[in-house]
Structure 1
Amino acid sequence: MTGDVAVRRFPRLTVSTPRAHVRPLTGHDADAVAEVFGDKLTLRWLPLPQPGTVDAVRWCTEAAQERRDSGSGDHYGVVRREDDRLVGCLWTKRTDWACRVTEVSYAIAPEARGFGLAAEAVDAAAIALILEHGFHRVEVRVAPGNTPARRVVEKAGFSYEGLLRNAGYVQGGRVDLEVWSFVAADLG
């Protein structure tokens, strides 16, 4: 036995909370996704080489399918239940099947910020990944100056674990990343 783990297709994830649905993205979501990723505050914290480089149609279709098929993650929409409007995106990445660990990232449209929807969606996704899909750990990495993102993971019940020095990049250059986790024991 070499310890190798076969590449698995990332599981289909759909969850509902009192105020939101989290579901896989489709090509019909591209305009709303472009709005979410086109926001200046969101762009400030995304690891993109330059603003406006998210191809929303590709993100919702081909890129999501490639990530799912490779087993590394998936792309999801956060849909507000009151008006059935896509107001955010979640995506999973860096999945380690041997350890049953994945990382979640998120972006929320400006008009939906400050109402707890992001925390509700991240919490529901983490719980579903653990309870329904057998993950042991869900991580979030946050640049230290990104206070709104830190509030989301705190409200979603994640625990701060430490700082990865010079581990990421944003529009302003290289940054440290805070590591936050949600594990199966947190459900008890």
Structure 2
Amino acid sequence: MSAEHFPIIETPRLRLRKITAEDANSILVYLSDEDVMKYYGLLPFTSVDDALDEIAWYQSIQDQQTGMRWGITLKEEDIIIGSCGFHNGVPKHFRTEIGFELSKAYWGKGIAAEAIKAVVNYGFDHLNINRIEALIEPANQPSQKVVEKIGFIKEGLLRNYEYTNGKFDDLYIYSLLKQDI
């Protein structure tokens, strides 16, 4: 999942690009929101250092060739309003997971679906991926609706799959195969 230079993806409304340290304040704005972080697996961010740590993680998964994370911007503005990308990739099995989040100010406008669809297509077309998984908490119905809209299929429930913020979380596992699109 490496790229010599980070790919830019454009959609009708969005420009998906690499997130840099200069974006830390923008990321802090939405990742400090309790509603955005409710199903993220981390506590709301409280400092620019938290955002810089997140950006460092994005770079580390790219360096390790286990993922790529794009910043979501509106074409007319170059401000990060969310992110979307791959993590926990297993190249020998042509499989990866997708994750995403979006500033609450942009919920309900189809932006997440537009970004996810573009990233999914990029993964299938350029990264030799065959299977993309989405792991979503049962209570996170908006995210379930977004991935279902794109064509992901719910395969089942992973019980007590993750331990985050002092509790075990069940997660639905969704998948989309290259042959499905």
TM-score by length of 1: 0.86
Aligned length: 177
Distance 2:53 2:37 in 1: 18
Larger mean CA deviation between 51-60 and 11-20 belongs to 51-60
Q: Is 2:51 aligned against 1:56?
A: yes
Equivalent residue for 2:66? 72
Equivalent residue for 1:100? 94
Task: Report 1 or 2 for greater relative contact order, CA contacts < 8 Å, sequence distance ≥ 6.
Answer: 1
**C-alpha contact 2:156 2:174 (8 A) present in aligned 1:** yes
SS for the counterpart of 2:93 is coil
Q: Percent identity?
A: 29
Question: Aligned partner of 1:90: which letter?
Answer: C
Q: CA RMSD in A?
A: 1.8
Could you report, residue by residue, the CA deviation over 1:51-77 in whole angstroms, capped at 9, with x for unpaired residues?
3277212322x3222211111112220
**C-alpha contact 1:44 1:171 (8 A) present in aligned 2:** no
**C-alpha contact 2:85 2:98 (8 A) present in aligned 1:** yes
Question: Aligned partner of 2:179: which letter?
Answer: A
**C-alpha contact 2:84 2:98 (8 A) present in aligned 1:** yes
**C-alpha contact 1:36 1:89 (8 A) present in aligned 2:** no
For 1:38-187, list aligned pairs within 5 A: 38-48=32-42, 50-52=43-45, 55-60=50-55, 62-171=56-165, 173-187=167-181
Q: Give the Å deviation of 1:82.
A: 3.6
Q: Which ranges of structure 1 fall in alignment gaps of 5 or more residues?
A: 1-8
Seen in structure 2, the aligned counterparts of structure 1 residues 125 and 91 have a Cα distance that, compared at 3 Å, is closer
Distance 1:157 1:172 in 2: 32
Q: Which ranges of structure 2 fall in alignment gaps of 5 or more residues?
A: none
